[in-house]
Amino acid sequence: MTRRLDYRAKLDGEFLKEGVLLSTAWISQRDMTLPIKLELMLRLRSVVERIEIIAHDLYIRQNDVQHIAAHQVAIATSDDELKGSEKKLGVVHFKPASEASSQQRTIYVDVSCTVITLQINKAHEDEVTNPFHQVGLESVLVFGRYLSGAEDDIPPSRRTLSPVEMVNSKRFTEEIDELLRRVKRNKDKFVREMDFSQAKRAQLEMNLLTKARGEMVALENAQSEAVKEDNFHRAVDLQDEIKTLRRNVMAFVDPRLTANIVRSEDILRPKNLFDKEDLKIGTPELFTAMASSARERSAPKLKQRPSSVSSRRTNSSRSVATSASGLPRVEPWHGNKFLEKENTVVPALRDKINKSDSIEESSDASNQEEYQPVAIFKGVDYSRAVDLFGEQTARNLYSKKWQERKIGLARVQQKLESVSSTEAPKYLDCTIAILQRHLKDPLYNVYASALDLLGFVCTRYIQIHHLQRMAPSLARSIHSTVATRASDTDRRSSTATLSTMNEILEQDKRVAKAFLTRFLKPLSRGSQRGQATIVQNAAELLGTPNAEVGFTEDAVTQFGLDCLRNADPEVRSIGKKLILDVYANGRRDVIFQMVSREEQGHQHPLLRSILDDMVAINSAQARSCRHCGANIEKSDSSTLEKHYRNICPAFTKCSFGNVACEPQKE
């Protein structure tokens, strides 16, 4: 099983900091004497299959390819190390730093060793970029497998791993792997002897061991994370569950299927794992016992027993096949009690794993390397992003680290600022896919950078290159995400979203119409408050009705009625305000008919209050002068007469009497 091997880097007889060349780069001191020899001390004696070396960008010659500093890699086994000799493998050359793909070199080997020596003979000489003649390596990854029983052969002085790394050493998983190898060997033996009954039993136990291995890997990873976070209370709980799972695994495995191949004492059992009272394996913990009869105890059923007729016939004849198999009959072992338990669930995995009962035939999926690259792009999006923005920017955009994602968004904006008008449409099309992903980023720092990019695209990029025709495509892709973030409980996200949308809606009417056409559609679940707030802010900024941005009487009134049906009181309040605003400034007959029709079909107190407010608006405007528009306290004849005589500029006094008369129109 190939995996990444752990090591500690050593320079001039002293160990470097933990993680150097694994997760952090190494750069030599100023004016060090060359050649420089780095020793990678492996945790155990291992079979090395592959070495991946990435050189530092700043310390690779950029002009002359023929005189690049060479990295000499020498590997020594543990026996050779005691004699002071080394087995040289060869020299690795790196091309100029201008070619990003040439930074990494992979060396395929097949050698058993405990130490890997990296010797750098020559530094890149440049008075400007490298005045102190330094050399550096970005990372060195070693892949292979540990040799069985190598842990006992390593002296204490060589055990250089930190406690956190020791927790993440996968020692329990390796023990299950050893059991799997032994059971597989016995199964192959049974197949050669044509003892298919025992072969079937071995295959069933292999399936159960494979499933237990997956649970053990998840438990060990969770325990490692708890230790890194100093959450030792959770680490203790996980350790108890690891013990229980290990105890159960050892209980249901038939010792006869792990014997007669290799010595039983060389299973990779970690030392001092259990206390003295734990050496005696008892009833498994954390599970509820099921009632079973005496007959069931004598012939217990394993988990995931096939239910077909042929399988039951095979099970009934198991005792006959077992007696004829040539394996010695032994007394029932301590695992009988575990076989009474069914549907076992490890509590630490109950909320995290929803594992399928079917187990794959191949074990390659469960033996994948721990460090896998992130699935960053999908097909066309990946190639387009690399072609337009560069491979490094694409990797930053979809990195696991939020700092790199933020840098990637900034580089995209810098690239858009220098794009020509002929290439602007394809860059905008690719940017829409980037925004669609990063506006969903859960971290506020990355989301704020995505909002800045959205504001730049809508307020500057589209106007400079006259790409208003692509605004509907942009709005269709991101409007639901923007509405959801506008109703976020995090005030930073909601405030920044509403502020950015206000700037976008005020800048360009065609872009504003593209977004408001989407926001005026029926409310979506999870984004009702944000969608209603954006429409309300747009109504206050642009006015309503406003046909240029899609704010017609019918659209705004229908959206307001949709808001009235929502369970959120704030959304209902926004809907009522929108209806009354458009009624005060728009075609009242159309709006009144829509509200009256809705009230007749759904008698709701809020609809009745809106109709009453409409009547109040009508009466308030009726108490004003129809000639000059001045407000009149009372609409009786005496008040109107007084207003016409003394205040209204549209009337004047007649010279023949004290009678108010309207001037003649020519």
* 356 shares a domain with 233: yes
3 state SS for 379-411? CHHHHHHHHHHCHHHHHHHCCCCHHHHHHHHHH
Q: Which long-range contacts (CB under 8 A, 24 or more apart) does 593-597 make?
A: 594/554, 594/557, 594/558, 594/561, 595/557, 595/561
Last residue of a domain, which of 147, 181, 212? Answer: 147
Domain that holds residue 538: 473-607
* 603 shares a domain with 479: yes
Q: Enumerate residue ranges in the chain where pLDDT < 70.
A: 1, 57-85, 94-103, 124, 126-130, 148-170, 259-380, 382, 599-604, 618-627, 629-640, 650-666
> What is the DSSP secondary-structure string of 520-564?
TSPPPTT-HHHHHHHHHHHHHHH-SSBGGGTB-HHHHHHHHHHHH
* 641 shares a domain with 495: no
* 220 shares a domain with 317: yes
Looking at residue 368, its pLDDT comes to 38
Q: How many structural domains comprise the chain?
A: 5
Quick: pLDDT tens for 75-121. 554 444 445 567 777 777 766 555 444 467 788 888 888 888 888 77
Separation CA 428–CA 433 (nearest Å):
9
* 386 shares a domain with 292: no
* 383 shares a domain with 360: no
User: Is position 549 within any domain?
Assistant: yes
* 433 shares a domain with 386: yes
* 333 shares a domain with 432: no
Quick: pLDDT tens for 244-303. 888 888 877 887 777 644 343 444 444 444 444 444 445 555 545 555 444 444 444 444
User: Is position 618 within any domain?
Assistant: no
Rounded to two decimals, what is the model's pTM? 0.41
Looking at residue 267, its pLDDT comes to 44
Give the residue among 506, 516, 416 at the shortest CA–CA distance from 467: 416
Bond before 35 cis per omega within 30 degrees: yes
* 206 shares a domain with 354: yes
For residue 489, the domain's CATH number is 1.25.10
Phi, psi of 74 (to 5 degrees): -125, 135
* 433 shares a domain with 577: no
* 446 shares a domain with 482: no
User: Is position 164 within any domain?
Assistant: no
User: Is position 156 within any domain?
Assistant: no
Separation CA 534–CA 485 (nearest Å):
11
User: Is position 300 within any domain?
Assistant: yes
* 44 shares a domain with 78: yes
Using an 8 Å Cβ cutoff, are 380 and 371 in contact? no
